[in-house]
Amino acid sequence: MLYPLSYGGGATILPLLTGGAPKATGSIAPVGTAPPRVLVVDDDPVILKLLQVNFEMEGFDVVTATDGVDGLRAARDERPDVVVSDVMMPRMNGLELVAALSADDRTGAIPVMLLSARAQATDIAAGLDAGARDYVTKPFEPLELVDRVHKLLRSR
């Protein structure tokens, strides 16, 4: 399978066959069911597009927002199954977004994954303490991120 975007901006080619059998990393929704909806929140347009394309290629319905304020509004309006958010953003950062989502009865059950270049143990602990269910550091492998989102969805 060819993924048109990777974190580094180049193409990433992934083998489709392992031992002669097709292999997929994610799962596409069965016929007659809605695909999982992911809200991606990031102020970097390159990262936002990278995530959007990779999630769409894995069968997700993708909603995007460019900061925490718009992300909170989108979560309330679109009711995503999972939120993937950057930490460092204008107007409302990812930690504030997690807290606002957790405090709202309409969005409190939505699992949130934080995505950040801030990779110190204290940063990760702050994200998890704020209510995030997972924390991924940049740079990241897009397929690993998609797999971790699938795990969050299965754990709901």
Q: Is the pLDDT of residue 2 over 50?
A: no
Helix (H, G, I), strand (E, B) or coil at 26: coil
Domain tally for the chain? 1
Residue 101 has pLDDT above 80, yes or no: yes
CA 61 and chain centroid, separation: 12
Q: What is the mean pLDDT of the chain?
A: 85
Asked if the structure places residue 44 within a domain, the reply is yes
Residue 30 pLDDT: 57
- Helices assigned H by DSSP within the chain: 45-57, 68-78, 94-103, 121-130, 142-154
Q: Does residue 121 form part of some domain? A: yes
Residue 65 included in any domain: yes
Report whether 93 contacts 132 (CB < 8 A): no
Question: Tokens 């209510």 identify what position?
Answer: 131
In a domain, 156, yes or no: no
Distances (CA, A) of 106 to 77, 100, 102, 112, 113: 10, 11, 9, 14, 18
The yes-or-no verdict on residue 78 having pLDDT over 70 is yes
In a domain, 50, yes or no: yes
Contact 130, 57 (CB under 8 A): no
How far is it, in rounded angstroms, from Cα 128 to Cα 118? 13
Confidence band (pLDDT; 50, 70, 90) for 22? very low
Strands 82-86 and 112-116: parallel
Residues 26-40: tens digit of each pLDDT: 555 555 688 999 999
CA gap 121, 87 in Å, rounded: 14
**Does the residue 14 lie in any domain?**
no
Identity of the amino acid at 7: Y
What is the structure's pLDDT at 156? 78
Identify whether 39 is part of a domain.
yes
Nearest Cα residue to 115 out of 9, 31, 43? 43
Whether the per-residue pLDDT at 24 is higher than 70: the answer is no
Range of the domain at 46: 34-151
Residue 40 lies in a domain: yes
CATH of the domain at 57: 3.40.50.2300
Query: Please, which pLDDT band fits residue 20 given cuts at 50, 70 and 90?
Result: very low
